Amino acid sequence: MKNFMVGVMSCLFLTTAIHADAQRPNIKFGDVKPGDFAAKLSQIDSNANAIVLSDIASSKYEGDNKGGFSIIFKRHTRIRIMNRNGFDVASISLPIYASGNLEEEIINLNASTFNLENGAVSETKLEKNAIYKDKYNKNYTIRKFTMPNLKENCIIDIKYTLKSPYERDLRSWQFQGEYPVHWSEYDITVPTVYEFVTFRQGYHPFAVNTAKTSEETYNILLPGTSASDRSETINFRSTIVNSVWAMENIPALKKENYTSTLKDHVSRVDFQLSKIRYPETPVKQVMSSWTTVAEEMMKDPLFGEGLTKNLGWLDDELKNAVAGATTDLEKAHKIYDFVRDNTTCTDHDAKYLSNPLRKVWQSKTGNVADVNLLLTAMLTRQGFEAHPVLLSTRENGKAYEAYPIMDRLNYVVCQVKVNDAPYLLDASHNKLGFGKLPSDCYNGYARIIDVLPALIDLKADSLDEAKVTSVIVVNDEQSGMTGSYSSILGDNESYNLRETMVKTTKEDYFKKVKSSFGMDVELTGSEIEALKTYDEPIKVKYDFKMDFSEDLIYLNPVFSEGYKDNPFKAAERSYPVEMPFKINETFVLRMDIPKGYKVEELPKSTRVKLNDNEGMFEYLVSGIDGVLQLRSVVKLNRATFLPEDYQSLRDFFAYVVKKHGEQIVLKKIKS
C-alpha cells in the first residue's frame, strides 16, 4: 500500500512537465446547464447526499505594497445537492486569520444557487447582507453564510478570493472529503524565491500531476521607512514554477473504528517551505536537517532558549521538590511529580511556549510545551541530562520521519537520563506515572531536540497492554464457597480507571462489579490498590461468597471477564486497523468443585493463532482431582493490521467471544 508519498519539488531542476494526462475542465462561475441536473450518477455517487462536481483552487504569489509577497488563494466549488440530508453542505464557514497588523482578507465572494425550473436554469444569488461576521476570538473572524433557495437536486456555486500576507504559508489542499468529488484540482504558482517540499498522501491516483517553469515579473512596493522617505516600486523578475495536481472521481471519506485519525488516510497535498532565495542575498535554508532544526529550536525563545539560561529562580522550588530524596532516580522522580502535581495543562496540542518558563511556573498553567519544557528545565537545573522531545500525537496524524516539518508536530515530552538510563516523561497529565507516556503519543516516532537529534521509536506495535486476572474459589467450612478475585490492569486501563474514579466512589465502583456478576454474591475486602500511585499498575481485588443448591449448575468459567462482544463488528474495512496498543489479557481460574457436585460437562480446550504469529488465543480448561482450572489468554502481537487482515482479525475475536460464552455444567451427586 502506498500510503505516503513524499516528493521534493526542487524548482531548479524541474524545467519540463513531468506528467500530464487528463483534460482539465474549464468551469466558469454561474455557467450551469440544464444537463448538469440530470447527469448520470456514477458508482461513487450512489447514496451520496451531495456531490462535489468540481472543487478548483489556485495559490499564486503577488507582489504586495509592504515590500514583499502575498499569496492570492482562489477557490471555486460547485456542489450538486441531491437531497435534504445534503443541505448542510450549503452552510459555509470561512475562517480568516489575523495577527497584529497582518490580516488575511476576503476580497471577493460570490455564491449562487441554481435550480432547474420548467427546463430552465434559475439563479438565486447570495445577498451580501446574508453574509455574517462572527468574531470568534482574538485571531479568527469567521465569515458565515448559508445558500438561499435550496431545493433537492440543486447546484450551488461558491467562489472567493482570499489574500494572505503570510507568504511562507502555502495552503494545503484536500482532494477528498465528506462527499464524493468528481474533479478536485489545485494549481500553485511559486516564484523560485520560495522553495517548498511537497507532501502527498492518500490512496487515490492523480489525474493531473504536472510542473513547468516560466518567468514572471512581480511589482513590489517598498514603503518608505519615514515620512520623508518615498516609497518605491520595484519590478522583480523571477523564474516561477507552476504545479498542478488533480484527482478525478474521489470517493467520500469514511469513518471507521480503530483508526488513529482519518487525517492520515485522506488524499491531500501539503507544503513546507524549505529555502528562500532573495536576490543578491545568500540562500536562506528554512527547512534543513534535523541537526540544524534542533540547533535552532534550542536557541528559540519560544522553545529551548530558557532551558538553560537564568534559572536561578528555580532553585528554591527544586529544593522543595527534591526534599527527602537520596538517589538520583528519586530526585528525578520527585521533580517529575512536583511539576505534574502543581501545574494544569490546558492545551495538549502545542509545541511552543505560550509564556516564558518563569511565567508558566507563576501561573501554574500552560500548554503541553510549557509544562514539559518547565520539567526539562528543572531536571537540567538539578544536574540531569534532560532534553525536550517532539512528536505528533495519533490524533494529529503521522509525522514524516525524515523531514523536520514543524507543522506536523504538535506535542512535547521530556527525556531524562538517570544513571545512563533514559526515561520519557510527560507531566501534562495529572495521573500519569514516571516514565510513562499517554497511548496517544505512540504514533511512530519522536525526535529528541539536542545536538544529536536522535529518533525514538514510539510505535503502537511496541506498546504492550498486559492485564492479568486470577480468581481462586475454595469450598469453605460451611456449605458455601469463598472466592478471591485479583486483577492487575495494564497501564492504559489503569489510567482510565484513575480518571473514572475522579467521578465515582469506591463503593459505587464495587456496586457495579457486584451487579455484573450475574448471580447473587456478597463482596468483601474490596480494594483498588495503587489508585494514587501512578507509577504502578492498578490492582483490583475483592473476595466473594457464593452458594449453590440447584441440581445442575451452569457456570461460565471466565465469569464477567470474558469478551461478550466482538470489537470488530463491521463486516468490511477500508483502512488499516490502528489499535492504540497490543492486547495481552490473561485470565486464570482455580476453583474447587463445590461439595456434593461432580463435573457433568466441560468446554473443550483450544489454542488458535491469528495469521501465522500475529496473535494467539488460548483457552485451557480441566476438571480433575476435585479442582476446576481454566486459563484464557488473548494476545495480539501487533496493534496495526492491514485491511486485508481484517477478516481474520474479526474471525479471531468471534471465536474468542464464542469460547468465552461456553459453560461448565456441574451436577449434584445423588445421595
Partner 1 sequence: MRKLLFLLCCIPACVEAQTYAVANIPDSLQANARAIKRSESIRMTVKSASKAIIRHKYAITVMNEDGLRYSGYSGYYDKMIRINEIDGKLFDASGKEIKSVKKKDITDRSQDDDMSLITDGRIKQHRFYSTSFPYTVEYEDEIEMNGIFNLEDWMPIPAQKYALQQSSFTVEVPADYGLRFKQFNYAGAPVVTNSGKTITYQWELKNVPGFVSEPFQPDVSQVLPHVMTAPTKFEFGGYQGDMSTWQGLGKYISSLYVGRDALPENVKADIHRLTDGISDRKQKIRLIYEYMQQNTRYISIQLGIGGLQPFPATDVATKKYGDCKALSNYMVSLLKEVGIWANNVIITAGEGERGLLEDFPANYFNHAVMCVPDAKDTMWLECTSQTVSAGYMGGFTGNRKALFIADDGGHVVSTPAYKAKDNLQIRSIMGAINPDGHLAVDVATHFTGQQQERVHGLVHGATEKEREEFLNEAISLPTYKLEKFNYVETKGIIPAMDEYLKISAPNYAAVSGKRIFVMPNLFNRNGTKLPTDKPRRFDILLDYPYQDVDSINLAIPNGYESEAVPKDVSLKTKFGSYSISFKLNGNSIAVVRVSERNAGLFPATDYAALVSYYEEIYKADRSRFVLVKRDVTP
Q: How far is CA 153 from CA 55, 60, 127, 669, in A?
A: 18, 34, 21, 74
Residues 592-651 that bind partner 1 (CB under 8 A): 601-604, 650
Task: Determine the longest span between alpha carbons in the chain, in angstroms.
Answer: 117
Among 37, 87, 97, 445, binds partner 1 (CB under 8 A): 87
In the numeric block, which cell numbers belong to residue 662? Answer: 461456553
What residues contact 630, with CB distance under 8 A and at least 6 apart? Answer: 557, 558, 587, 588, 589, 619, 620, 621, 622
Residue 639's nearest CA partner among 574, 563, 597, 578 is: 578
Nearer to partner 1, 333 or 498 (CB): 498
**Residue 48 binds partner 1, judged by CB under 8 A:** yes
Tell me the residue type at 179: Y
Among 44, 49, 261, 529, binds partner 1 (CB under 8 A): 49
Among 84, 168, 237, 359, binds partner 1 (CB under 8 A): 84
**Residue 517 binds partner 1, judged by CB under 8 A:** no
**Residue 402 binds partner 1, judged by CB under 8 A:** no
**Residue 134 binds partner 1, judged by CB under 8 A:** yes
Site size with partner 1, rule: CB under 8 A = 61
DSSP string, 520-576: --EEEEEEEETSS-TTS--EEEEEEEE---SSEEEE-TTTT-S--S-S---S--SS-
Nearer to partner 1, 87 or 203 (CB): 87
Cα angle vertex 186, ends 183, 188, to 5°? 160
Nearer to partner 1, 9 or 339 (CB): 339
**Long-range contacts of residues 621-624, Cβ cutoff 8 Å, at least 24 apart:** 621/557, 621/664, 623/593, 623/599, 623/664
Q: How far apart, in whole angstroms, are the C-alpha atoms of residue 555 and residue 594? A: 12
**Residue 96 binds partner 1, judged by CB under 8 A:** no
**Residue 662 binds partner 1, judged by CB under 8 A:** yes
Residue showing cell 448559508: 146
Nearer to partner 1, 64 or 585 (CB): 585
Among 263, 511, 539, 595, binds partner 1 (CB under 8 A): 511
Binding to partner 1 by CB under 8 A, coded x per residue (else -) over 556-575, reads: -------xxxx--xxx----
Per-residue H/E/C for 23-64: CCCCCCCCCCCHHHHCCCCCHHHCCCCEEEEEEEEEEEEEEC
Q: How far is CA 585 from CA 404, 454, 578, 637, in A?
A: 38, 33, 18, 12
**Residue 547 binds partner 1, judged by CB under 8 A:** no
Q: How far is CA 277 from the centre of its chain?
A: 35
278 phi, psi to nearest 5 deg: -70, 145
Residue 167's nearest CA partner among 258, 311, 40, 67 is: 67
**Of 80-88, 218-226, 459-467, 628-636, which part binds partner 1 (CB under 8 A)?**
80-88
Binding to partner 1 by CB under 8 A, coded x per residue (else -) over 136-155, reads: xx----x-xxx-xxxxx---
**Of 85-93, 163-171, 224-232, 370-378, which part binds partner 1 (CB under 8 A)?**
85-93
Among 28, 128, 503, 670, binds partner 1 (CB under 8 A): 503
**Residue 135 binds partner 1, judged by CB under 8 A:** yes
Residues 227-256 that bind partner 1 (CB under 8 A): none
- Least distance (Å) from partner 1 to the CB of residue 362? 9
**Residue 552 binds partner 1, judged by CB under 8 A:** yes
Binding to partner 1 by CB under 8 A, coded x per residue (else -) over 182-221, reads: ----------------------------------------
Give the number of other Cβ atoms within 10 Å of residue 284's Cβ: 11
**Residue 325 binds partner 1, judged by CB under 8 A:** no
- Least distance (Å) from partner 1 to the CB of residue 50? 11
Among 23, 42, 65, 91, binds partner 1 (CB under 8 A): 91
**Residue 455 binds partner 1, judged by CB under 8 A:** no
- Least distance (Å) from partner 1 to the CB of residue 511? 6
**Residue 363 binds partner 1, judged by CB under 8 A:** yes
Contact in structure between 180 and 249 (CB atoms under 8 Å): yes
Residue 25's nearest CA partner among 266, 207, 173, 151 is: 207
- Least distance (Å) from partner 1 to the CB of residue 504? 9
**Of 168-176, 336-344, 451-459, 582-590, which part binds partner 1 (CB under 8 A)?**
336-344
- Least distance (Å) from partner 1 to the CB of residue 341? 6
Indicate the DSSP class of residue 341.
Answer: H
- Least distance (Å) from partner 1 to the CB of residue 356? 15
Residue 381's nearest CA partner among 440, 455, 306, 447 is: 306
Contact in structure between 78 and 123 (CB atoms under 8 Å): no
**Residue 536 binds partner 1, judged by CB under 8 A:** no
**Site residues (vs partner 1, CB under 8 A):** 47-49, 84-85, 87, 91, 124, 130, 132, 134-137, 142, 144-146, 148-152, 257, 341-344, 346, 363-365, 430, 502-503, 507, 511, 515, 552, 554, 563-566, 569-571, 601-604, 650, 653-654, 657-658, 661-665
